[in-house]
Chains A and B, each alone.
Chain A
């Protein structure tokens, strides 16, 4: 059986990274923006695991890094959602276009 080449996996992760970036810049809903950031972080996770398995299987640096990224992403999302809830109390919306009190 043929093994899947590394380039296929890197293609997926890079695509995921740019989809996340596109979502971050175009979406107007704050929760969706947060989801786009998760996409970026997950593309990084795929990269780390793939590099670790294909190129450097002798030690587990990449896998450990992935575990830390997942847990920190959870902490980040928790703080961000808490802030969104607090903002919702005064704004009654989760649309980023409404956060326009500060500009220029």
Chain B
């Protein structure tokens, strides 16, 4: 029993141990930031490696906590993403006063996401969701003296509190109609009763807030622009990815009897999300704001994949999130380095960026190609599998709208590539010297973008895991 406990909760326990080590270091020592960063990145590397050792399957605490191969894989993906973000934000964190607090907040949100992914009960799910969103608001406010950062934080905490209020009201109605909170026991009680559908709509609204689906996306761009770049990339990749994983598994298992109901909702939401995300991305000049709208559009494509409601849907969503982590972090990595060293965040500042920083330009270009879905990069395969999964339902209107919007998205991604390589500029961003840690992170992203697309074993592995569910 005790053995089970340690093996099944291995990833959470390693994370907790790292949190405590950070706390002890913070209390007892007065280390320099550089030393602390080296130690923390080593610990995060250990965390990533530990995730792959001894995979196990089982449930704890009366089915409140469950884990299996797919959940372990999802947690490993999040771990890798966190390590890359930590390496990338080196230049920004090196001079920050509250370094260890930043990592404590970040790791506790990661812990919350892990519990959310493993939850087998609505109570556990809610606790994980809140643990992963409340510290994020504090992180968004991490540039304490900047007004923009506080503004982003207040917008984030108010909208996330409101969305969890909606979600909770839905959960309470679901409890009232089914009499249980456990995922496995809810499913047989679902009967398409109007109250249950209302409860489902509220829960869907709560989820849509967290993954910024269109009628609920208003906080996204503001929060992304105002927060420090490291937090923005964490929000757009890790936090969104975790909620998407849970969303897929809850829709496919708990709400399976309501599949007819949610298919139509997802159809509408995904069309709106793709179109509005794309249209707003065209007119942005701030790079973080641009990436916010591009990430809204990407979520729209993910919804197309989810609407397939088959093991193929699960596999394609996880595969796409994996690719999205690498390609989005590649773009954010460059933005993060430029913003930390020069303070420039506008797309127009990147004109003639290639003349002074060829390496960074190539990384940014390949990342943008992958986000747009240009064939040799992984992004193409990710979107391809999403559309295939969506096409299983036979709704070709949805698939053609999504495919047309991929073409529109080419315009605004390639516009940036054009201004990097072709536009003249009197004062381009000067030559930047990149420390080895962010450089390593950028190479990891590049490797991810190229390898994941071409090495089909990865997709087959994810698919084999998702069939069993």
Interface set of A (CB-CB < 8 Å, partner B) = 17, 20, 24, 30, 33-34, 37, 40-41, 43-44, 47-48, 51, 55-56, 61-62, 64-65, 68-69, 72, 75-76, 79-80, 82-84, 86-87, 90-91, 99, 101-103
Contacts and interface: CB of A to CB of B under 8 A. Distances in A.
Contact of B134 (A41, A47, A75, A101): A75
29 contacts: A20-B165, A34-B158, A40-B165, A40-B166, A40-B169, A47-B173, A55-B176, A56-B179, A65-B172, A69-B126, A69-B168, A72-B127, A75-B134, A76-B130, A76-B157, A79-B135, A79-B137, A80-B158, A80-B161, A83-B137, A83-B157, A87-B153, A99-B151, A101-B147, A101-B226, A102-B151, A102-B152, A102-B221, A102-B226
Contact of B162 (A37, A48, A72, A103): A37
A51 B173 CA distance: 9
Contact of B147 (A20, A43, A80, A90): A90
A86 B141 contact: yes
A40 B162 contact: yes
B355 interface: no
Contacts, number: 117
Instruction: Classify the interface of chain B: helix, strand, loop or mixed.
Output: helix
Nearest to A41: B165
B245 to A, nearest CB: 22
B415 to A, nearest CB: 19
Nearest to A72: B130
B123 interface: yes
B340 interface: no
A80 B137 contact: yes
B26 to A, nearest CB: 19
Interface of B: 122-123, 126-127, 130, 134-135, 137-138, 141, 144-145, 147-148, 150-155, 157-158, 161-162, 165-166, 168-169, 171-173, 175-176, 179-181, 221-222, 225-226
B180 to A, nearest CB: 7
A79 B134 contact: yes
Nearest to A77: B161
A57 to B, nearest CB: 11
B222 A17 contact: no
A24 B137 contact: no
Given A44-B168, A51-B172, A80-B157, 13 more contacts: A24-B158, A24-B162, A34-B161, A40-B169, A61-B180, A65-B122, A68-B126, A83-B153, A87-B150, A101-B147, A101-B151, A102-B151, A102-B226
A61 B158 contact: no
Contacts of B151: 87, 99, 101-102
Instruction: Classify the interface of chain A: helix, strand, loop or mixed.
Output: helix
Contact of B138 (A20, A47, A48, A79): A79
A18 to B, nearest CB: 10
Given A44-B172, A65-B175, A72-B127, A102 B165 contact: no
Contacts of B179: 55-56
B150 A86 contact: yes
B227 to A, nearest CB: 10
A69 B171 CA distance: 12
Given A40-B162, A41-B165, A79-B137, A87 B123 contact: no
Contacts of A84: 154
Chain B CB within 10 Å — which of A41, A56, A80 has the most?
A: A80
Contacts of A101: 147-148, 151, 226
Nearest to B155: A99
A34 B137 CA distance: 14
Contacts of B122: 65
Contact of A47 (B135, B155, B176): B176
A56 B173 CA distance: 13
Nearest to B178: A56
A33 B158 contact: yes
A72 B172 CA distance: 16
Contacts of A80: 137, 154, 157-158, 161
Chain A CB within 10 Å — which of B152, B154, B166, B181 has the most?
A: B154
Contact of A79 (B157, B165, B171): B157
A24 B175 CA distance: 25
Contacts of B135: 79
A65 B179 CA distance: 13
